[in-house]
Structure 1
Amino acid sequence: MSKRGLEGDTAGAPSIAPKRARAYTPPRAPTLDGWLKPDAPPPLLAASPHLHDQDSTFISFTLSFEPPSHVRTVAALTKEAKRIVRELDVVRLVGEELLARNEGAFQAGEGRAPGRSKGKERASEPTCRMWAARVVGLNEGKNGTGGEGDYQLLEAFDDDGEKFGGERLLRVLQEQSAVDVITICVRWFGGSMLGPARFQHISITAKDSLKELQTLVTRRDLRADLDRLDDEIAAMRATLAPPGSPLRSVEDGAVSSQKSTDGGSKGKYNDIDDVLRLQRLRQAREKTKANLESRVGWVGLDQSRAEDAAAAAARAPAASRQ
């Protein structure tokens, strides 16, 4: 049993970094599902603020995770999750910041490791990487076309030496009704026993990273909605003012004005982080779309009437010659 699993209740007041959670986009691992779905959005990764208690430091990362089609058992999920946890480059993501703040395990020195050159320290690898995953995957023998019965909820966790740590992470995911995510809590252990307080640190950082990931997902979905609405609006404007139409210059002016305001290309909303602003933009685009839909409907009705009139006019001479 690990030394951390025998901790007594000796924790002091923890210190939480006064910074908001950080967001990262990890590289996508080469998988069959990734090759089959090249246009699928990349996974999102959010990190909690770091939490220091005595000579220990805790950080949680939550990764959006849509399981590959072969993940249909807890064993398969565990294998895939362990690969992801192993490949997460914690030192690259937060090492410099932790060294600069010089708190917790990094103040006492346990979080520091000799660098490649003299006098150049680097952050050490965390002492443990406890994790929990909760995903919706396919049942054996199913392909997803048979409705809800084709799917199952899969859960897995690992303590990595931090006794009951992974189990506590899974409980957080269950309480937050989180699915298609992997949460990884890393700890740099400096030697002082924290006792049951460590479970509170695990829960706090895990919830923070989950909350930040939800914000990232909301932003991504809003940006995708805006791009889709812009495409639909452009298509309807083209219908209302086809090439050669007197209204074309007017519609072109409206489109160019919108492009100059919003950036004029896919991804033009990527620099907007304010969720409320993105929501207001979506509402404005939806109103524009609704207005154009009504105009397109009237244009279609007018075209249909004109076609009927032309057909009737073509039949009239033939009838008069009979």
Structure 2
Amino acid sequence: MPPSGKSFKLQSKNNLDTYIKTSRPLDDVQPEVTSQEIRDRGSTFIANLFPAASPSEVRARIAYLKDVLHKGKPATHEIAAWRCMVPKPGRNGLGGPDDFELNVGNIDDGEKWAGARVQKIMESYAIIDAVVIVSRWYGGTMLGPVRFAHIETCAAEVCQEFKRSEELRECISQLTNLDAVLAGLRAEYSESSPVEPVTTGSTTSKDYTNLDLEKGRRLIKARENAIRTVKLLLAKRREATSDAAANLDDPT
């Protein structure tokens, strides 16, 4: 994904139906993260975060939540905010990071100022290519300013979990690459010294399905240390081989 650009395009509409009516047909993309419910004096708040790489995908996700997932029990407000990295007009994205700009926006859906608050939460977590939708079912009692705290809490929860998921995916990718490097170095060392196997851990492929972020970070450090160790052993082996060859060439 390209880094954040400097161009920002704000698309903000207060009427949810006006925004999503231009959506493409409903898809079945499920939310990647869902927050815990917050209940206060009859009102219920819950946030969902969907992946969305373009404004059209944003509209489709909002429509899907409103017209499919919440069809049986419509929310009073579907407050949404999004941040998508999109190609600039006339660009195809093949020219590098300068081809992209950040498309951002929010919808209050009748809960004045709420959309901007959700958008600020997304910005604070540097969430890109996603839409956060905070749903509120009004319970009949006006909550006052505390309703914004509930909206922000739900939004922050899904953003934080999404960020951790992104970091975990990057961690697993890095581990997989380090495993491949380490396996190659071990094979090289074994070929140079068949009677002296290298002992820096298992050579079997790893399953990181249930890996958590903290353990992943520890494993990355362990792999990096193992790679340094094998590189050191290889350097010593090459030096010894070079010295032996020099002695053979010098009969004195």
TM over 0.5: yes
Quickly say closer, same or farther: Cα 1:284–1:175, change in 2 above 3 A.
closer
Letter in 2 for 1:48: S
Deviations 1:226-281 (A, max 9, x none): 2221121111111111399334xx34xx58x626xxxx435x222132x3322122
Aligned to 1:193: 142
For 1:85, the equivalent position in structure 2 comes to: 62
Give the conservation status (yes or no) of the 8 Å contact 1:229–1:286.
Answer: yes
Cα 1:242/1:187, change in 2 over 3 Å: same
**What is the aligned partner in structure 2 of residue 290 from structure 1?**
228
Instruction: Choose from 254, 279, 287 the match for 2:217.
Output: 279
Within a 5 Å distance, the mapping from 1:56-205 to structure 2 comes to 56-65=43-52, 67=53, 71=54, 77=55, 79-88=56-65, 124-205=73-154
Instruction: Give 1:62 deviation, angstroms.
Output: 2.6
Secondary structure of 1:49's aligned partner: coil
Cα pair distance change 1:240/1:205, threshold 3 Å: same
User: What's the secondary structure of 2:48's corresponding residue?
Assistant: strand
Q: Cα RMSD over matched residues? A: 3.8
Does the Cα contact within 8 Å between 1:130 and 1:158 map onto a contact in 2?
Answer: yes
3-state SS, counterpart of residue 183 of structure 2: helix
Letter in 1 for 2:59: K
> TM (normalized to structure 2)?
0.72
Give 1 or 2 for the bigger CA radius of gyration: 1
* Matched residue SS, 1:235: helix
Task: Give 1:46's aligned residue.
Answer: 33
Other-structure match for 1:265: 205
Structure 1 residues 54 and 219: alpha-carbon distance in aligned structure 2, compared to 1, 3 A threshold: same
Q: Give 5+ residue unaligned stretches, structure 1.
A: 3-26, 30-42, 72-76, 96-112, 114-123, 314-322
Pairs aligned (count): 226
The superposition leaves residues 265-322 of structure 1 with CA deviations (integer Å, 9 ceiling, x where unpaired) of 35x222132x332212211110101122233345556677889999x89xxxxxxxxx
Seen in structure 2, the aligned counterparts of structure 1 residues 300 and 181 have a Cα distance that, compared at 3 Å, is farther
Per-residue Cα deviation, 1:142-170 (whole angstroms, up to 9, x for no partner): 24454442221110222334333323211
Unaligned runs of at least 5 residues, structure 2: 1-13, 16-26
